[in-house]
Structure 1
Amino acid sequence: MQNKSMRENAFYNTIKQICTGLFPIITIPYTTRILGAENYGRVNFCISIISYFVLFAGLGIATYATRQSAILKNNKKDLDKFTSQLFTTHIIMSIIALLLLFFLLLICKGLYQYRILLMVQSFMIVFNIFNIEWIYSAFEDYKYTTICTIIVQIISLIFLFTFVREPSDYIIYSIIYVISYSGMYLLSFFNVKKYTRVKITKHPNAIKHILPMLILFSNELMVTIYVNSDITLLGILSNDENVGIYSVAVKAYTVFKRMFGAVIVVMLPRLSYYYIYDKKGKYNELLRKAFNCIILLIFPVSIGMLFISDELMLLLGGKAYLVGSNSLRVLSIALIFSTIANFYATSVMLPSKQEKKLLLITVVSAVVNIGLNLIFIPKLGFLATALTTMIAEIIVAILSSLYSKKIFVPKIKLNFLIDILIGIVAIIIICLFIEQFEFNYILKLILKVFLSVLMYATVLLIRKNEIAINILKKKK
C-alpha cells in the first residue's frame, strides 16, 4: 500500500474544507446584504430540496467507493472495472433523479414560485455525476483536489462580486453557487486517468454493488434529513426570511464542522486497509491518536464559537441577522456531539462494515429531529431548528459510541481532561473580559479568537500536554 503522510493528507484536506467553508464566510456578508434575508432564504430553501435529489442520484456511491477502491487500488484492472461500473450507475440514477424532480414541480403547486431556482440548481445533480473524489481519497492524493477547490472558489468569488449587484440577482447567485459546488468535480474528473480509466459500461453489475450502496444511501439519506429538514420544514412552516437568518447561523456552524470532518475523513481509506490487514495493530493506534486530538480541539473550538456568536452573525449578515445568535450558540454545543458522532461513524463503524447499525442510528435521530421540528417550529421558529439539530447530534453520538465499544473504547487520562478544562476556563475568562469593552464587533472577534488560541496553547504547553509537546517538536 502506498503510504503517504497522514499529516500531509489531513493538512491538504483541511485546507480544502476550510476554503470550501471560507467561500460562504466571505460571500455571506455580501450576499445577505445585497439579496436580503427573504431572497437569501429562497435560495437556501431550494438548495435544501435539491440536496435530496443529489443524494438520491449519488445512491451512497461515494462512501462505498472510498472504502472499496482503497482495497482494489493495487489491482488496476479490477479498479478500472469497478470505477466504470459505479460511474455508469451514477449516470442512470441521476437521470431518474432529474425526472423525479420535474415530476415534483408538476404536481406540487407550492414549489411553482421556486421553479426557476430549482431548474438552475438541478444542474448540481448533473455535475455531481463527475464527482469521483473517492479515487483521490483511495490513493490519498488530497493535494490536487485542494488546488482545484481553491481555483474554483476564486473564480466563483470573481463572478459573485462582478454579477450580483441587487436583490433581483438571486438567480445569478444560484448559478454561481452551482459553479462553486460543481467546478472542482469537473477539473478532478479529467485528471483521474492517472489512477484509473473511467468509462460508461454496458455491464454496471448493479446487483453486486446495490445492497451495500443502498444501506449507505439510506444512512446518508437519514443524515441529510436530520441536517436539511430543519431548513426545509422552516421554509414550509415559517417564511423565507426566517430561513435566511437561520441559514447564516448554519453556514457558520458548518465551517467548523467541516474542519474537523476533513481530518476524520482522510483516515477512512487507511483505516479500511488497516482493519482488514492489521486489525489489532496500527488500526487501534491510529484511532487512539485521532480521538485524543479531536477531543483536545473540539471543546475549546465549541466554547469559543459560543462566545463569538454575536460577532459572527454581525459579520456574516449584519444587525438584521443578529436575532439568530442564540441559534448559533445552540449549534456550537451541537458541534461537540456531531464531531464525536462523525468520528465513530467514519473511523470505526464504516471500516468495520457496520452500515446497518449506522443506518438504524440515523433513522432514529432523523425521526426524532423531524418530529420535534414539527412540534416546536411553529412556537420557537429558527431556535427550534437549532435545538432539534443538537438533540439529533447527541443521539447519534451516544448510539454510535455504544455500537463501537466492542472495537474501540477511548482511554483518556485524567491529566489530559484537566488540561482541556483549564484551557476552556481560560478561554471563558478572556472572552468575558473582552466583552466589558465597547470595541467594534470586528475587533472583538479578532481579540477573542487570537487571545483564546494563544491562551489555550499556552495552557497546554505549561501543563506539558503530550499532543501539544509532540506537535511543537515536529514543528521544530
Structure 2
Amino acid sequence: MRSKLLTGDSAKKNFIYQFGYQFVILVIPLIVSPYLTRTLGSRALGIYTYTYSIAYYFVIVAMLGISKHGQRIVAARKRDLLKLRRTVWSLTTLHIIVSIAVFVVYLLYALLLSRSERNVVLAQGIYVFSAVIDFTWLFQGLEKFKTVVIRNTIVKVLECICIFLFVKSPDDLVIYTIIMSLSTCIGFIIVLPQMISTIKPIKFTISDVMEHIKPMLVLFVAAVAATLYTIFNKTLLGILSDVTDVAFYEYSNKIITIPRTFIVVISTVLFPKACKMAASGKFNEMGKLLRQSLIVNYFIGFGSVFGLLAVDDLLAIEYYGSEFAICGDIISAMSPLILIIGLGEIMRSQFIYPLKMDKAMVWILFFNAGINLVLSSILIPRMGVFGAVIGTIVAEIFGLIIELYICRRYIKLRDFIRMGIPFLCTGIVMCVAIRLISPALPQNLSSLIIEIIVGAIIYIVISFLYCYFAIDEAKQIILSNVRKLKEKMVRK
C-alpha cells in the first residue's frame, strides 16, 4: 500500500502552508528583535552573531550538500517506494556519519581553540549537533510542506516564549544562545518518528551510498561558496572591525530578510515541481513557471526596496532603539539585495539546479565569493559595515548576470527587464508619496505605521490594476479566484 506521505500536497496547499509559516516567522522577529536589542544590546548580539557564523560553517560541512541533492533525488524517485526507501536510508546513513564526525571536530575546536566566549561557542554546539537529525530535505522532496511548517511554527512560538521568560540582560547571552540552538534541535527531533515510521528502514549496498557522494560533493562546494559571501561577511566584520558592527549588520539584514523570505517560499515550493518538469523534458512549462515567479518576485522586491527607502531611519529607531539608529542607513544600502538575491534564487531553483547544472553553479558561486572576499577585505577596514554591504551587492549582481546568461534559452534579457519596469515605476511612486507625507507627521511609531499602510495601499492598488489589465494570465487567475469566492458565498 502506498504511503500517504508519498503523495505530495498540491502546489496551492504548499504555498498556503509556506506563506502561513512565513507569516509566523515574520511576526515573531517583529516582536522579539526590539526586545533583544534593548535587553542584550549591540555587543552581546554581536558576539552571538559572530559565534553563530563560525558554527554555521560546521553545519554546512555536516550537511554536505544533502539539502538540494536530497530534495532533487527524492522528488525524482518518490513514485517507486522500494527505490525511495533505499535512497533515503543510504543518504541518511552517509549524512549521519559525516555530521557526527563534524560535531566531534566542532567540540574539539570549542574546547581547544576558542579563546573568548567559550561558553557561547559551546552552546552553539547544540546547533551544530542539530545537523545530525535534519531531514527537512525528505519532506520537501516529497512536497509535504505541512509537516515542516507545523514543526517550525511550534518551535518558533516556544522559542519566542522562552526568550521573554529567560533573557533579561546582556549577562543572559549564554541562555539566549542555548534557547536558539535547542529550538532548532527540538524542531528536527519532533518529525523523526514520522520519518522513520513512513520511510521504513531497508537494507542497502555500499554502491547505493557511493552514488550520492559525487553529486553531494558538488552541491557541498556550491554551499561553501555561497556561505563565503553571506555568512563570511559577519566573520570578517568580527575580525576586521568590531563585534558591534556585526550586530548592526545582522539586525539590518533581519529587516531585509523579512520580504526576502516570501520570495524564498516560491523557490522552495516550486523546486520539486521544476525538478519533475526537468526530468520529463517539459522545458516550455519550466519557462512559463519561471516567468510567473519573476512577476511575483518583482512585485515583492520593488515594493520592499522602495518601501524601506521611504521609512528606513524612522523604522530603525522605533524598531530597534536609538543604539541601533545607524541601521537605518545600512537598511537603505542593503535593500537592493531583496530584489537581486530573489531573482538569483528563482533562477537557481527553477532552472539551474533542476537541470543539474551544478558544476556551472559552483563556478558562479566561487566567482561571486572571490569578488565579495576581495572587496570586503579591502573596504571593511575603511568603511566598516558599509564595506561588507558593497562587497555583497557587487558579488550578487555579477552572479545574477551570469545566471541570466545560463538561462538565456528560456528567458530573454529584454523580457526579463521589461517585466520589472512597471513594478519599478510603481515603487518609485509609493516612495515619493511616503516622503511627501512624512514631514507632516510626528516622528513616532504611529507615524511609521501610517506611512507603511499608505505606501502599501498605493503600491498594491497600482500593481493590481497593472496585472489585471496588462497580464492576461494574471487576469485569469484573479477572475478564477473571484468566481470561487462567489460560489462559496452562494453555498453559505
Please confirm whether the aligned pair reaches a TM-score higher than 0.5, indicating the same fold. Answer: yes
Residue in structure 1 matched with residue 103 of structure 2 by the alignment = 98
2:479 to 468, 473, 476: 473
Deviation at 1:271, TM superposition (A): 0.7
Q: Distance in 2 between matches of 1:237 and 1:250?
A: 19
Evaluate the alpha carbon distance shift between residue 362 and residue 175 of structure 1 in structure 2; reply closer, same or farther with a 3 A threshold: same
1:87 aligns with 2:87: no
Deviation at 1:418, TM superposition (A): 5.3
Residue in structure 1 matched with residue 3 of structure 2 by the alignment = none
3-state secondary structure, aligned to 2:372: helix
2:56 to 33, 51, 55: 51
The runs of 5 or more residues in structure 1 that have no matched partner are none
Deviation at 1:363, TM superposition (A): 0.1
1:27 aligns with 2:32: yes
Q: Distance in 1 between matches of 2:215 and 2:421?
A: 42
Q: Distance in 1 between matches of 2:426 and 2:131?
A: 42
1:203-260 CA-to-partner distances (Å, cap 9, x unmatched) read 4844211111011011011111100111101001111111112211011112222221
Evaluate the alpha carbon distance shift between residue 194 and residue 100 of structure 1 in structure 2; reply closer, same or farther with a 3 A threshold: closer
2:131 to 128, 132, 147: 128
Evaluate the alpha carbon distance shift between residue 444 and residue 198 of structure 1 in structure 2; reply closer, same or farther with a 3 A threshold: farther
Deviation at 1:317, TM superposition (A): 1.9
Deviation at 1:416, TM superposition (A): 5.2
Deviation at 1:199, TM superposition (A): 7.7
**TM alignment of 1:186-225, pairs within 5 A:** 186-193=189-196, 195-197=198-200, 203=206, 205-225=208-228
3-state secondary structure, aligned to 1:170: helix
1:246 to 246, 249, 258: 249
Say whether the 8 Å CA contact 1:306–1:333 is kept in structure 2: no
Q: Distance in 1 between matches of 2:412 and 2:197?
A: 39
Evaluate the alpha carbon distance shift between residue 175 and residue 107 of structure 1 in structure 2; reply closer, same or farther with a 3 A threshold: closer
1:62 aligns with 2:63: no
Moved more, 298-307 or 207-216: 298-307
1:385 aligns with 2:388: yes
3-state secondary structure, aligned to 2:254: helix
Residue in structure 2 matched with residue 112 of structure 1 by the alignment = 115
3-state secondary structure, aligned to 1:78: helix
Deviation at 1:132, TM superposition (A): 1.2
Evaluate the alpha carbon distance shift between residue 215 and residue 414 of structure 1 in structure 2; reply closer, same or farther with a 3 A threshold: closer
Q: Distance in 2 between matches of 1:305 and 1:24?
A: 17
3-state secondary structure, aligned to 2:442: coil
Moved more, 367-376 or 125-134: 125-134
Deviation at 1:174, TM superposition (A): 0.4
Evaluate the alpha carbon distance shift between residue 316 and residue 84 of structure 1 in structure 2; reply closer, same or farther with a 3 A threshold: farther
**TM alignment of 1:421-440, pairs within 5 A:** 421-440=424-443
The runs of 5 or more residues in structure 2 that have no matched partner are 1-5, 483-492
Say whether the 8 Å CA contact 1:344–1:400 is kept in structure 2: yes
Q: Partner letter of residue 268 of structure 2?
A: V
2:362 to 359, 362, 369: 359
Evaluate the alpha carbon distance shift between residue 258 and residue 413 of structure 1 in structure 2; reply closer, same or farther with a 3 A threshold: closer
Deviation at 1:410, TM superposition (A): 6.5
RCO higher in 1 or 2 (8 Å CA, sep ≥ 6)?
1
1:268-309 CA-to-partner distances (Å, cap 9, x unmatched) read 111111111142343232222222222233212221122222
Say whether the 8 Å CA contact 1:460–1:468 is kept in structure 2: no
3-state secondary structure, aligned to 2:191: helix
1:286 aligns with 2:292: no
Say whether the 8 Å CA contact 2:126–2:178 is kept in structure 1: no
Sequence identity percentage? 23
Say whether the 8 Å CA contact 1:426–1:452 is kept in structure 2: no
Say whether the 8 Å CA contact 1:9–1:141 is kept in structure 2: yes
Deviation at 1:15, TM superposition (A): 2.5
Normalised to the residue count of structure 2, the TM-score between the two structures is 0.90
Deviation at 1:358, TM superposition (A): 0.4
Evaluate the alpha carbon distance shift between residue 354 and residue 6 of structure 1 in structure 2; reply closer, same or farther with a 3 A threshold: same
Question: How many pairs were matched up?
Answer: 474
Q: Partner letter of residue 348 of structure 1?
A: F
Evaluate the alpha carbon distance shift between residue 131 and residue 446 of structure 1 in structure 2; reply closer, same or farther with a 3 A threshold: same
Q: Distance in 1 between matches of 2:295 and 2:454?
A: 23
3-state secondary structure, aligned to 2:325: helix
3-state secondary structure, aligned to 2:283: coil
Residue in structure 2 matched with residue 258 of structure 1 by the alignment = 261
Q: Distance in 1 between matches of 2:458 and 2:28?
A: 28
1:152-182 CA-to-partner distances (Å, cap 9, x unmatched) read 1111111111111121001000011113333
Q: Partner letter of residue 27 of structure 1?
A: V
3-state secondary structure, aligned to 1:439: coil
1:10 aligns with 2:15: yes
Evaluate the alpha carbon distance shift between residue 438 and residue 248 of structure 1 in structure 2; reply closer, same or farther with a 3 A threshold: same
Q: Distance in 2 between matches of 1:379 and 1:162?
A: 40
Say whether the 8 Å CA contact 1:80–1:197 is kept in structure 2: yes
Q: Partner letter of residue 137 of structure 2?
A: W
Residue in structure 2 matched with residue 40 of structure 1 by the alignment = 45
Evaluate the alpha carbon distance shift between residue 177 and residue 344 of structure 1 in structure 2; reply closer, same or farther with a 3 A threshold: same
Q: Distance in 1 between matches of 2:202 and 2:326?
A: 50
Q: Distance in 1 between matches of 2:217 and 2:366?
A: 14
Residue in structure 1 matched with residue 490 of structure 2 by the alignment = none
* RMSD, aligned α-carbons: 2.3
Q: Distance in 2 between matches of 1:405 and 1:415?
A: 15
Say whether the 8 Å CA contact 2:14–2:269 is kept in structure 1: yes
Deviation at 1:197, TM superposition (A): 2.4
Deviation at 1:28, TM superposition (A): 1.3
Normalised to the residue count of structure 1, the TM-score between the two structures is 0.93
Evaluate the alpha carbon distance shift between residue 292 and residue 461 of structure 1 in structure 2; reply closer, same or farther with a 3 A threshold: closer
Say whether the 8 Å CA contact 1:376–1:384 is kept in structure 2: yes
Residue in structure 1 matched with residue 449 of structure 2 by the alignment = 446
1:70-113 CA-to-partner distances (Å, cap 9, x unmatched) read 011011111111111111112111122123323434664xx311
Q: Distance in 2 between matches of 1:93 and 1:442?
A: 49
Residue in structure 2 matched with residue 169 of structure 1 by the alignment = 172
Q: Partner letter of residue 118 of structure 1?
A: V
Q: Distance in 1 between matches of 2:418 and 2:214?
A: 46
Say whether the 8 Å CA contact 1:66–1:134 is kept in structure 2: yes
Q: Distance in 2 between matches of 1:474 and 1:411?
A: 30
Moved more, 441-450 or 166-175: 441-450
